[in-house]
């Protein structure tokens, strides 16, 4: 008897190899998967503008990167001694305005270059709720902990989301016509919006994305379904009972690999895992002969792997 509802995932028609170049954008789940790619030494670019929760924020940074419009002082404001921008995450906020502008433009160049070379772009959508800065009537990517009275909150309509996702796909294929776009819906529940409001938000995202998937304009990975339907137990959640636990992330990653990575590359990943664990090893006696031999064997493993993939650096 099977006590789990297994989510079926068809094998992707396009495979990821160590010569693929990956861009991962969106919510914190995009970070979870990109960190796995990085550990296994896949070339990956993760959220150059930090975590972005809703599609309009992602569309905004892509539109600007495509048009190559530089960021200026007009795009920043000072709050709690830091210079922030409503276009991206607080990770890019700086003590100095010049540094904030320079960093934003550097990240924009990085994003543009990464997309021009990318074979895969994974986009994780987190929420359909957006905040509007009342002074300018502008939808923001991040509120940067400004007082709540400066903002209004509303739910994006299915039409608005579909339009934004269509624009995102158009931008990506304009920058790189051969790119493969894969969407996911974050399994993280935004309970600060409310339990019902979180359900409605996710439903809006699913409803907006579905027509694009049906038309074959993009593909989809069921990360949300894996956590909520297949794992379906609080032992697969972190201490906040909202974010997935390390075990859940590892399981979703395994299903991700099964879907997108061919068997030969999966074998290479095992070699990378062995090397990475060796590099993380902390010896009891660093001066011992045993440890010296261990380091020699580790060096040989790295040399064999980098002969096969010269562009990978440990």
CA–CA–CA angle 35, 37, 38 (5° rounding): 65
pLDDT of residue 4: 83
pLDDT of residue 225: 97
Task: Give the DSSP H or E segment for 153.
Answer: strand 151-155
pLDDT of residue 283: 84
pLDDT of residue 307: 96
Tell me the CA end-to-end span of the chain in Å, nearest whole number: 45
pLDDT of residue 136: 96
pLDDT of residue 282: 87
Helices (H), the chain: 28-39, 55-67, 97-117, 158-175, 195-214, 223-225, 246-260, 263-280, 289-308
pLDDT of residue 285: 86
Query: Hey, is 257 helix, strand or coil?
Result: helix
- The residue whose two tokens read 């990975």 is 221
d(CA 123, CA 121): 6
pLDDT digits (tens, 9 = 90+) for 284-312: 888 899 889 999 999 999 999 999 999 99
> For residue 173, what are its two tokens?
């294929």
Number of residues written out for the chain: 314
Return the axis-axis angle of helices 97-117 and 158-175, rounded to nearest 10°.
70
Residues of the chain with pLDDT under 50: none
d(CA 260, CA 205): 23
pLDDT of residue 287: 86
Neighbours of 142 (CB within 10 A): 23
């Amino acid at each position: 008897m099977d006590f789990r509802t297994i989510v079926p995932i068809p094998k992707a028609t396009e495979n990821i190899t160590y010569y693929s170049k990956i861009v991962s954008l969106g919510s914190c789940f995009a970070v979870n998967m990109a960190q796995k790619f990085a550990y296994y030494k896949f070339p990956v670019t993760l959220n150059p503008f930090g975590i972005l929760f809703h599609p309009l924020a992602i569309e905004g940074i892509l539109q600007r990167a495509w048009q190559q419009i530089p960021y200026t002082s007009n795009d920043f404001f000072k709050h709690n001694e830091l210079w922030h921008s409503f276009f991206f995450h607080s990770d890019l906020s700086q003590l100095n305005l010049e540094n904030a502008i320079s960093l934003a433009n550097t990240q924009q160049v990085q994003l543009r270059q990464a997309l021009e070379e990318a074979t895969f772009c994974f986009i994780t959508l987190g929420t359909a709720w957006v905040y509007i800065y009342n002074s300018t009537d502008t939808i923001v990517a991040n509120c940067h902990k400004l007082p709540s009275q400066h903002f209004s909150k509303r739910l994006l309509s299915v039409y608005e989301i579909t339009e934004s996702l269509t624009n995102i796909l158009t931008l990506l294929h304009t920058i790189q016509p051969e790119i493969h776009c894969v969407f996911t819906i974050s399994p993280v529940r935004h309970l600060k919006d409310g339990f019902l409001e979180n359900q409605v938000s996710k439903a809006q995202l699913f409803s907006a994305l579905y027509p694009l998937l049906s038309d074959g304009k993009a593909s989809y990975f069921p990360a949300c379904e894996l956590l909520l339907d297949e794992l379906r137990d609080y032992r697969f959640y972190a201490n906040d009972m909202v974010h997935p636990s390390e075990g859940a992330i590892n399981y979703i990653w395994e299903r991700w690999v099964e879907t997108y990575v061919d068997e030969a590359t999966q074998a290479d990943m095992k070699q990378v895992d062995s090397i990475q664990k060796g590099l993380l090893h902390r010896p009891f006696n660093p001066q011992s002969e045993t440890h010296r031999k261990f380091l020699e064997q580790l060096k040989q493993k790295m040399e064999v792997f980098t002969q096969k993939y010269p562009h990978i650096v440990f």
